[in-house]
Amino acid sequence: MTDAASDSASDAGPHLRLQLHLAYDGTEFHGWAAQPGLRTVQGEIEAALARVLRLDRPPRITVAGRTDAGVHARAQVAHVDIPPAAWGHALGWRRGASRPDEAIGLLTRRLNGVLGPDVRLKSIGLAPEGFDARFSAIARRYCYRISDTPASRDPVERGHVLWHIRPLDVSKMHDAAARFLGEHDFAALCRPRPGASTVRRVLEASVHRVGCGGPEADGGRIEIWVEADAFCHSMVRSMAGALVAVGEGRRPVEWIDSVLASSERESAANVLAPHGLTLEAVKYPPPAALAATAQAHRAVRGPLH
């Protein structure tokens, strides 16, 4: 249980915190965050929880990383606090069901039964002590996929891969991506929020050409992999846009250094279309470090980060 007050349930007092692992196709969603009158991932899941758990109002979900409209996720993580009465209701769904794993399994199936096919709860569990889906996370990993040759354009994957009209030099893009590694101010590649820092630590930045049978010298799609402690708004799509500028030969590899040194928005680093981007993983420290990590990140980032 968590004894923190929560605005996510109708009952006062302590709540049970659940950890949710989910995936979604962002094509038909207006992003993660709930917005009045628009279909969002958060809105859909909160409504499903309220319906299945018979809550007076939808609970509030906290997510590891908000995704923009059209962006996909294979491994999103979230948490939600629910009142004990709702948990008791879940336990009572099946006669004699007293084990938490039984109730969780049934809750997962019920929720997926009312959700649309473009969002799936892969698993639900009782959150470990101190777990916060957003502030306990130590890294998020994204992949941006591009097809730059006719042979690599698969109509089946068109909603998840950007079709680029000009061939790209993957070797130069990979060399340029390495310049993003480490801690930098990404002000030139972000849409900053008031009062929020744009400094991030990039842990991985690589570009590869891959095909159905593995890496290929020619043909196959391009994958841009980026992992960081956190991301600011549009950061990954702007990084990918900068790498495309290098891959097309419009900018040299060294140009990335000047972009990172600038505090002004870089117009040559186009924000690429959202459908090529997928959240692939969220990473957390060992259970014993969850609470301390969350406390440290909350102090640095604050509510607007």
Which residues belong to the active site? 68
- How many Cβ atoms sit within 10 Å of the Cβ of residue 183? 11
The CA-based diameter of the chain, rounded to the nearest angstrom, is 67
Residues in the chain: 305
Q: How many CA atoms lie within 13 A of 216 on its CB side?
A: 15
17-38 in b/e form (b: 16+ CB < 10 A) is bbbbbbbbbbeebbbbebeeee
DSSP bridge pairs for 184: 200
Dihedral of the alpha carbons of 6, 9, 14, 20, in degrees to the nearest 10: -80
Q: Which helix (H) or strand (E) holds 298?
A: helix 290-301
SS3 288: helix
Q: Which residue has the tokens 């993983």?
A: 281
Contacts of 264 (CB under 8 A, 6+ apart): 187, 188
Dihedral of the alpha carbons of 6, 10, 12, 16, in degrees to the nearest 10: -60
Of 133, 135, 165, whose CA–CA distance to 147 is shortest? Answer: 165
CA distance 132 to 60: 13
Of 151, 212, 204, 206, whose CA–CA distance to 176 is shortest? Answer: 206
